Amino acid sequence: MRGGSVAVVGGSIAGCAAALAASRGGAERITVFERADARLRDRGVGIGVHDARYAELRDAGYMADEMPWAPLNRRVWSVRDGDAEHGRAIGTQPFPFRAYNWGSLWSELRRRVPETATYRAGAKVEAVEQDADGVTVRLADGEPERFDLVIGADGYRSVVREAMYPGTGAAYAGYIGWRGTSPDVSGLPSDGLDAHNITFPGGHCMAYRIPDGSGGHRLNWVLYTAPPRIDGLHPDLRTPTSLPPGRLNAELTEHLRALVAEHFPPFWAAKLLSTPAETTFIQPIYDLDVPRYATDRMVLIGDAASVARPHLGAGSVKALQDATALEAAWVAGESWKEILEGYHAARGPVGTAMVGLARRMGSAQVEETPDWSAMGQAEFDAWWQEQNNGSDRRSGFGGHSLKSS
């Protein structure tokens, strides 16, 4: 179906991909509303993309070789072992991934948004209202605007999702990710070609090298664990949010630093504890799965539609795959109804499956951690396989294959 006016709410990775999908599908007028005033806030965090998922997205035209990346070959899981510098490896996995910097990946996708689309920074959408003929977008400061279709690409606090499913928000999983990036990549094992998971009772930390956006590299890390019961902290976490530098409770910061000092091998403890405070923040972990990805004249992609815990290593991949599926449904459909039904059929079940698998991984890797110190490779392999039991053969760590098996 050709023609029509489309609003994309959210101008991040998912929003830029959605604008590209709408343009290729044949939309006549596309407007992207991004609430940030200028460049989106870039905390420089890492994104991992499985080689096979990258190949599919490259072939679909949503990723390209010129997007800066760093290769990863293996993932090594380790536990503290006395004073051993890097600890003891308890399991090693093939890890055919490409590591990206969020900011540079977003910049490349932003550059690919067609010039015919209008990208409006500093445009905060307060509400969307649907009727039989289309959707009204209401901004914080301006007249209401009418569109034939609205695409919600506005993340886990989506205004569009709230209009579709009032009261359906992301649910706090009970633990957090403490994230940081450091310019210190000296001495990384295997010349930085491995990802490392440092394990401890009640969680683990994943660390790997990413591009810094200017020809060098940074160390990207995220530590998953349940926070201590600090007065005034948990209510903030139950309401979808993130805690940037300056908003971190001092007791929480000291708790996390003490945890690292006690449980991490000396090399990794030094790397985390020397990370500049201004590049660390807290990301509470959430779950979300909606009944349908599309209703009438509104559609959701990326985290606006479903939020899978990040243990899958596929958050940005899913958003880009959602966009490819929306484009395919647009090209095949002859009406808005056919487009949106086709899109939901392609992505709704995938989103539900990914949320379920990520919950199992979160339970095994954070909420109910094994006795890591008793593990060797055989025990590790059995533990890993148990998390993936029952998964679709096309799904697993790294995301869901777009190609038929």
In tens, the pLDDT along 171-194 reads: 999 999 999 999 999 999 999 999
Which residue bears the tokens 């990805």? 293
| Residue 345: C-alpha distances to residues 249, 317, 322, 342, 402 (Å) | 43, 18, 11, 5, 13
Predicted confidence at residue 229, as pLDDT, reads 79
248 burial (CB, 10 Å; 0-12 / 13-18 / 19+) is middle
Report the distance separating Cα 168 and Cα 164, nearest Å. Answer: 9
Tokens of 20: 């590209």
**pLDDT tens, 155-177?**
999 999 999 999 998 999 999 99
Backbone torsions φ then ψ of 272, nearest 5 degrees: -70, -45
Domains in the chain (CATH in brackets) are 5-47+104-170+288-369+378-400 (3.50.50.60), 70-101+172-286 (3.30.9.60)
Q: Of the given ranges (65-69, 122-126, 200-204, 239-243), which has the lowest mean pLDDT? A: 239-243
Q: Model-level pTM greater than 0.75?
A: yes
Report the distance separating Cα 159 and Cα 236, nearest Å. Answer: 19
Nearest C-alpha neighbor of 9 from the set 97, 141, 119, 93: 119
Which residue bears the tokens 């990723």? 63
Tokens of 344: 């939901």
Which residue bears the tokens 């956006």? 213
Predicted confidence band of residue 228 (pLDDT cuts 50, 70, 90):
confident
300-313 burial, b at 16+ Cβ within 10 Å, e below that, comes to: bbbbbbbbbbbbbb
**pLDDT tens, 307-347?**
999 999 888 999 999 999 999 999 999 999 999 999 999 99
Which residue bears the tokens 């790294």? 398
